[in-house]
Structures are given as C-alpha cells and as structure tokens.
C-alpha cells in the first residue's frame, strides 16, 4: 500500500494504518538514527518517540514531501536535539553531525545507505538457516572458514559453498535495484560484506 493511502487511513482513525507505518519504517529509522547518535538503545527511543508523536499529532501534521522523508527528517531533528543535550558527546561526532546538517546531499546519501543496508539484512534473513548462520559467522563474527567448519562439524568446502551462495543471492538482489549498486561503491560496510 502506498504511503499516501496509509496517511488517509491514519487520518480517518484507522489504527492498523499506524501499525503498518511502524512495521514499514521502524527498523530502518533505528539504523539511521544509530549512525548519528552512536547508541542503539537511544536510537530506538528516539524513533519510538518520533513515531508516537507522529500518531498523536496526525490530524495537524502537514507533509510537504513524502511520509518516508518526513519521518527521516523528524528522526534527524530529534537526534540533533539529543546531541545538543549531551555534554559528554565527542567533539568530532558533533562536527560530523553539523556537516551533515549543512549539506543536504550528505544527508540524502546517508539515508540511502541506511536503506541499502536494511535491504541487505532482509536478504540475509531470507537465506536458508544454515547458509544464514555460516554467512553471519563469517562476515559479522569474523571467523575463518576453517573455524566455522570445525564449530559446525561440516567440511570447509561446504562453508565456502554456502558463503558463495549467500553472496550470489545478495548481489542478485542488489542488481535488481541499479541505483542501489551505485551507492554501494562508496559504502565501506558493503565492501566488507560482499568481498570479505
């Protein structure tokens, strides 16, 4: 369902529309916020506050862009307010945040990078269980193929095959979205994830 339809349902008091908005955007907004405040728990709190506030003020909110852009912008502003209140925040974090505040394109790139990472995590979660476990042990836990094989009591060749299959599926999904591939060229996370 399109965001426009969701907003219309929401304004008419449909609580299921709110639930759908939450499910659609919560996770990626948390990832986005964590890139700014460097605190996952705080990021979750910020996003929850933004979404709840959005619901409470749904009758008076004027959206001039899209629902997604509005939510991202609201989370960004809430993160700014949080960082301003934090006296112990590192100076270079503040500097980076101020630069992002001044440069709209950098903000847009960060938003797109977040969506890309979110898409990749969805692909990983859709892998067969053993393939997913092996891939996560390799890329997220930093374990060698030999260590994974020993821990799971399988051959090293099986580990290599499963990792290769996972990478192939991720790349196929990415190439279904050509603009995403362009973004990935500058994303360190993706270079590590896809090339090891």
Helix boundaries (H) for 57-187: 67-85, 91-102, 104-125, 129-139, 145-152, 156-175, 178-184
Q: CB–CB of 6/21 below 8 Å?
A: yes
Distance of CA 173 to the CA centre of its chain: 16
User: Angle, to 10 degrees, between the axis of helix 188-195 and the axis of helix 104-125?
Assistant: 20
Residue 83 tokens read as 């960082």
The verdict on domain 1-102 having CATH code 1.10.1740.10 is yes
In the structure, what pLDDT confidence band is assigned to residue 19 with cuts at 50, 70 and 90? confident
Residue 76 backbone phi and psi in degrees, to 5: -60, -45
CA–CA dist 88, 91 (Å, integer):
9
Q: Looking at the predicted structure, is the pLDDT value of residue 153 above 90?
A: yes
Domain locations in the chain as residue ranges: 1-102, 104-196
57-110 confidence digits (pLDDT tens): 777 767 777 888 888 989 999 998 888 877 554 555 555 566 555 556 666 767
Alpha-carbon distance 169 to 140, whole Å?
Answer: 17
- Report whether 181 contacts 170 (CB < 8 A): no
Terminal CA-CA length for the chain: 37
At 175 the pLDDT is: 63
CA–CA distance, 141 with 119 (Å, rounded to integer): 20
> Which residues, in sequence order, are CB contacts of 49 under 8 Å at separation 6+?
78
Fold adopted by 104-196: Arc Repressor Mutant, subunit A (1.10.10)
pTM of structure: 0.50
């Amino acid at each position: 369902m399109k965001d426009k339809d969701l907003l219309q349902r929401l304004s008419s008091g449909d609580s299921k529309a709110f639930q759908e908005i939450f499910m659609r955007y919560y996770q990626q907004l948390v990832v986005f916020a964590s890139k700014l405040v460097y605190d996952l728990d705080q990021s979750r709190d910020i996003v929850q506050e933004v979404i709840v506030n959005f619901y409470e003020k749904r009758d008076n909110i004027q959206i001039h862009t899209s629902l997604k852009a509005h939510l991202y912008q609201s989370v960004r502003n809430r993160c700014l307010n949080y960082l301003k209140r934090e006296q112990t925040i590192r100076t270079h974090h503040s500097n980076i945040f101020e630069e992002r505040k001044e440069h709209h394109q950098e903000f847009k790139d960060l938003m797109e990078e977040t969506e890309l990472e979110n898409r990749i995590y969805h692909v990983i979660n859709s892998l067969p269980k053993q393939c997913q476990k092996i891939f996560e042990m390799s890329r997220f836990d930093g374990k060698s193929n030999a260590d994974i094989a020993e821990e799971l009591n399988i051959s090293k060749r099986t580990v290599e095959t499963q990792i290769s299959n996972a990478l192939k599926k991720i790349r196929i999904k990415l190439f279904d979205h050509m603009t995403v591939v362009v973004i990935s060229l500058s994303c360190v996370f993706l270079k590590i994830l896809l090339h090891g």
